[in-house]
Structure 1
Amino acid sequence: MATKKKSGSGSGSAKVVAAMRGINVSDAPMCSIVGKELLPLEVMRHGIRGTQNLTPGKFDPNKLANIQITETAKTHPQATGMHLRFALQVTPLSRLLTACDSAEVRADIEQFLARAANSEELMELCRRYARRVFSGSFLWRNLTLAHSLDIHARCAGQTAQALGERPFELAERGFSEYTEDEMKLARWLQSSFASQAGLGQGIEVSAKVHFSNAGAFEVYPSQMYVSGKPQGFARPLYKLNPVSPSDLNRARGDKDVHSFMDSINMGQAAIRDQKVGNAIRTIDTWYAPGNVPPIAIEPNGASLSDNEFHRRPESGNSFFNLLPGIRQLTQDLKPEGSGMQTSPDAMFVLAVFIRGGVFGDAGKSGND
């Protein structure tokens, strides 16, 4: 899978290359579906008395109970499903590159992106992004609750959709046999990437997760990482319009039996933008030969799910290995609609630029 630098096809070197994020998404607020109403789904902070599940080295045989403060989110008791929505905005390829300390490398990248705007490689990326949207990947663990799904994408008064059991079927297809609705969304994305002025058209995505039975089911907003959290605190969840620290302290410190709160509404549950975006860009199946599961687009093929770098620099197929050969990758791009076989390396490099980030010569990168 590695691309070796060909004679006469190599670009110069740059210590720093930076690109804007090409797919910009909003947070996805979560609501309970109750009849025809959408009711904000609340994150509740409360106490639990569980049991130990520690490894032998940390197991305390004299301490059975595990008492913690935690946060959970549950649907309304009469909810028949859950609803969420997010907005998606595309940055044109011509505006992605924001910094490069080599004029030669900058020119080569700009030429690559200009040619990619009307390439079959970009169209395939957009088809894959559309597949990830219409398969409901952005719902993550919440898919386990779904009896059926209704997913809609809307752009400039038009609608594309995947309803009922279709999203589950699309998830099983991998990246092939694209539907007419997926092609419609892919064309909206491609048109915005190829635009030469401003931002592309905005796209709104909404999803309804239908339950088999009504009930107060636990759902899964994003989980927040907190360093140095106090002992006895289990997990914080992502929420919108969170309760102020002063109000929280008052509620926690209240000793009056008439006003004491055993659980506190912390705000509206949501899946955060980074997690939604990560789901959409989980399209890299070119990192290894054969039928492999897709991983998120990352310069070194980092995958948190299996704690592995799948595109290590020594393998020759990391972004940092491929970037010096960008002139050859530019030549490898196929015209859109040509029906010619696409270049996996060119698609990967293009997808990394769309991911965005600051890429240093030491192989370090971060999302922009």
Structure 2
Amino acid sequence: MAKPETPSLLAFERKLDCSDAVFSQTDGNNPEAQEQPVTVSEKSVRGTISNRLKNAIANDPAKLDAEIEKANLQTVDVAALSSGCDTLIARFTLKVLPFDGSPYVCNGAQYRGRLLETATQYLQTEGMQTLAERYAANIANGRWLWRNRMGAENIRITVSNKNDSVTVDNAKALPLDRFDRPSENVAKIAEWIRQGLSGEAFTLLSVEARVQAGYGQEVYPSQELILDTGKSNKSKVLYQTGGKAGMHSQKVGNAIRTIDTWYAQDAAFPIAAEPYGAVTTLGTAFRQPKQKNDFYTLFDNWILKGEQPSTEQQHYVISVLIRGGVFGASGKE
């Protein structure tokens, strides 16, 4: 029998399906305070020239003064709590879909059979516990709040599943750089996620964070990518949905799947599960093909050659499949 080859059509659906995170606000010191939306408004500012200048200008006092005199006019979007509110409320939902290794699209029957056999062996041997605990930790520690987490005095996160819920009273006390043994509350969230990934139960989590940021303080929704800059006179456009500031579902999802500490033995921090370990904010791919620890090398060796990676790298490969994506071979070099 001929050896299976990577099919030209191979794609997986994402199994962690996030909604956008929508922002509201309230006064945390007033139990009777009404919840209000966080809105996006425009602000026009006159900034200073602060970019790195060419040596010819920087070393000539007259030219430098002339450059500094130029106005750096900007129109930007801004989102902030009102003067009567000190607490940001962010909410999103997370649907957890079953994972059994089946691709969404695959045009190679023999390859599909080998893939399902490999995934079944992983599920029987390792199961979804390790990945579920890491996803749960990133929900409970508020990583998905991004910059909003940094400036908060305290964060309380509540996760609900059907008629049950758990609350993490001090999310900032949970670490971002490692995955400790989960507490009772985090373990319960992990069990809900494990049941969803294993297909034992339908899992739809509702997540709410109450972020004590300070009266009138700025908050940070997602920033829109303006592809056609000629149609916008703003240098920064913030995301809003239904009249409320919000965070893209992709940004929330990226934080939840920031579980990969297996890219190096001395990994200082986790990165998102990506085929090449890409972290755009650092401009670095932590999983290089030349090091043979990228997704495609590990995945192909596992499926096509039967070379089983270490347990940690198996977790990584499966987490990328849970992320979803198109992984077929083009046939063109």
Give, as a single letter, the amino acid of the residue that structure 1 aligns with 2:323. Answer: R
2:309 corresponds to 1:305: no
- Note closer, same or farther for the CA distance 1:216–1:105 as it changes in structure 2 (3 Å cut): same
Q: Which runs of 5+ in 1 are unaligned?
A: 1-9, 242-266, 334-341
SS in structure 2 of the partner of residue 193 of structure 1? helix
Query: Given the two structures, how large is their TM-score scaled by the length of structure 2?
Result: 0.87
Equivalent residues in 2 for 1:51-70, closer than 5 Å: 51-57=48-54, 61=67, 63-70=69-76
2:86–2:216 Cα contact (<8 Å) kept: no
Deviates more, 1:116-125 or 1:146-155: 116-125
State whether residues 160 and 181 of structure 1, in contact with CA within 8 Å, keep that contact through their aligned partners in structure 2.
yes
Inter-CA distance 151–40: structure 2 relative to 1 (3 Å threshold) = same
Rounded to whole Å, the distance in 2 between the matches of 1:49 and 1:329 is 61
Structure 2 vs 1, CA of residues 135 and 119 (structure 1 numbering), >3 Å: closer, same or farther?
farther
Q: 1:322 to 1:73 in 2, by over 3 A?
A: same
Match of 1:143 among 125, 135, 149: 149
Q: Distance in 2 between matches of 1:269 and 1:305?
A: 23
User: What is the CA-CA distance between 1:280 and the residue it aligns to?
Assistant: 0.3
CA 1:176 to 1:62, structure 2 compared with 1: closer, same or farther past 3 Å?
Answer: closer
Q: Partner of 2:173 in structure 1? A: 169
Q: Which moved more, 1:57-66 or 1:348-357?
A: 57-66
Moved over 6 A (4+): 328-331
How has the CA–CA distance of structure 1 residues 221 and 172 changed in structure 2, closer, same or farther, with 3 Å as cutoff? closer
Shift of 1:93: 0.6
**Aligned 8 A contact 2:158 2:208 in 1:** yes
Are 1:82 and 2:88 counterparts? yes
Partner Cα separation in structure 2 for residue 328 and residue 183 of structure 1: 35
Alignment-mate amino acid for residue 148 of structure 1:
N
- Aligned to 1:325, the other structure's residue is in SS state helix
2:82 and 2:265 map into 1 onto residues whose CA distance is 46
Going from structure 1 to structure 2, the CA distance change for 1:116 and 1:329 (only over 3 Å counts) comes to farther
Give the residue type in structure 2 aligned to 1:21: R
Give, in angstroms, the shift of residue 98 of structure 1.
0.6
Note the C-alpha offset of 1:232: 5.3
Q: Using the alignment, how far apart are the partners of 2:131 and 2:37 within structure 1?
A: 34
Q: 1:189 and 2:193 equivalent?
A: yes
Partner of 1:280: 256
> Take 1:65 and 1:218, find their aligned partners in 2: how far apart are those partners?
25
Deviation at 1:130, TM superposition (A): 0.7
Following superposition of structure 1 onto structure 2, how do residues 74-153 of structure 1 map, counting pairs within 5 Å? Answer: 74-94=80-100, 97-120=103-126, 122-153=128-159
Offset of residue 178 of structure 1? 1.1
Aligned partners of 2:26 and 2:122: how far apart in 1? 42
> In 1, distance between residues paired with 2:198 and 2:103?
14
CA deviation after TM superposition for structure 1 residue 330, in Å? 8.5
- Paired AA for residue 211 in structure 2: V
Shift of 1:293: 1.0
Is 1:206 matched up with 2:208? yes
CA contact (8 A) 1:32 1:75 kept: yes
**1:122: how far off?**
2.0
2:241 partner amino acid: L
- Mapped contact 1:193–1:200 kept (Cα < 8 A): no
Distance 1:300 1:291, change over 3 A: closer
Distance across 1 between alignment mates of 2:131 and 2:282: 24
> Cα deviations across residues 109-151 of structure 1 (Å, max 9, x unaligned)?
2223334445435211110001111110010000123111110
Matches within 5 A, 1:6-25: 12-25=5-18
Q: Counterparts of 1:363 and 1:229 in 2: how far apart (Å)? A: 36
Q: Structure 2 CA distance, aligned partners of 1:108 and 1:161?
A: 42
**Counterpart Cα distance in 2 of 1:70 and 1:280:** 29
Percent of aligned pairs sharing the same letter: 29
Contact 2:177/2:269, CA 8 A, preserved across alignment: no
| Alignment check: 8 A CA contact 1:238 1:272 kept | yes
Task: Identify if the C-alpha distance between structure 1 residues 124 and 95 changes in structure 2 by more than 3 Å, giving closer, same or farther.
Answer: closer
Q: Is the 2:101–2:119 contact (alpha carbons within 8 Å) kept by the matching residues of 1?
A: no
Aligned to 1:236: 237
Superposed displacement of residue 64, structure 1: 3.5
Equivalent of residue 45 in structure 2, options 45, 48, 55:
48
**Structure 1 residues 73 and 146 mapped into 2: Cα distance closer, same or farther (>3 Å)?**
same
Confirm whether residue 216 of structure 1 aligns to residue 216 of structure 2.
yes
**Deviation (angstroms), 1:63:** 3.9
Deviations 1:285-326 (A, max 9, x none): 111111421111101111112111111212111111011233
Paired AA for residue 15 in structure 1: S
**CA distance change for structure 1 residues 320 and 172 in 2, over 3 Å: closer, same or farther?**
closer
Unaligned runs of 5+ in 2: 58-63
Letter matched to residue 239 of structure 1: Q
- Separation in structure 2 between the aligned mates of residue 116 and residue 61 of structure 1, nearest angstrom: 62
Aligned residue number for residue 326 of structure 2: 358
Q: TM-score by structure 1 length? A: 0.79
- The one-letter code of the counterpart of 2:321 is F
Residues 1:358 and 1:187: Cα distance change in structure 2 (over 3 Å): same
| Partner secondary structure for residue 311 of structure 1 | coil
